[in-house]
Structure 1
Amino acid sequence: MTILILVILIGLSLYTLGTKDLLYGAIALSAFSLLSAILFYLLYAPDVAITEAAVGAGVSTVIFVWAIRVTDREDRT
Structure 2
Amino acid sequence: MSNFMIILDILVVTGLCVSAILACHLEKLLSAVIALSVTGLFAAAAFLVLHAPDVAISEAAVGAALSPLIFIFALKKIKGGGDE
Task: Give the TM-score of the pair, scaled to structure 1.
Answer: 0.91
Unaligned runs of 5+ in 1: none
The equivalent residue for 1:9 is: 16
Corresponding residue pairs, total: 75
The runs of 4+ residues in structure 1 deviating greater than 3 Å are none
Distance 1:8 1:34 in 2: 10
Cα RMSD after superposing both structures: 0.9
The equivalent residue for 1:25 is: 32
Unaligned runs of 5+ in 2: 1-7
CA drift of 1:11 comes to 0.8
Distance 1:26 1:34 in 2: 13
Give the counterpart letter for 1:22 in structure 2. L
Structure 1 residue aligned with 2:58, among 30, 40, 51?
Answer: 51
CA drift of 1:74 comes to 3.1
Identical positions, percent: 39
Check conservation: 2:33, 2:71, Cα contact below 8 A. yes
Secondary structure of residue in 2 paired with 1:30: helix
CA drift of 1:39 comes to 1.1
Give the counterpart letter for 1:74 in structure 2. D
Check conservation: 2:44, 2:55, Cα contact below 8 A. yes
